[in-house]
A and B are shown apart, each in its own frame.
Chain A
């Protein structure tokens, strides 16, 4: 194969890697696993590279993540990588004046941990809607559920996230 722009794999990777990685990162919680699953995702997509759109990319990434989460659960690993950090993520006292960068770092860490507590379906809905800006119809297709259920799932996901973030001292 030539390494030219005409290779559908080039287009596939260029157009979808960023969104697929962010999605996987939200689903599995840690960057290293997300990198591995990103490769798995694109290996699975390779035979369909010419026709793959965002829907197929997200559905394939989700399938890889779900397989990984099942394996992790079956091995008895219930602790998520972010949980260890969560213990240290108690809100810093205001009198210490944490700078904004640190605050945002902690928020991101706590947000990922809170996402990890959501059922996978709600996590998927929240990320694809909130971060990727996908329509409810597109998300429903990725999940294989009626579009009418997406708003409700999103609402429940947001409510739980706000509760969790509020407990950790973030404005929610």
Chain B
């Protein structure tokens, strides 16, 4: 089971610097994604993935002190992105 981005017919993305704006055609909502969520979305754009694999490939922000909590943070962020109907788990 892996996380994947919804098709680009449903979710439109545009990237500026380290942030991203996502438009969900189904809900009509627009979301501003911060740097970590943007990295996750970029990785999922390349291929479906799971939290652990994402944690290994995602760069820490300068403000993050340790990598220990990264998998948990990514789990939470994936749940948030799922809640916004930008990604799905299958």
Is B one of A's binding partners? Answer: no
Q: Spell out A's residues near B (CB within 8 Å).
A: none
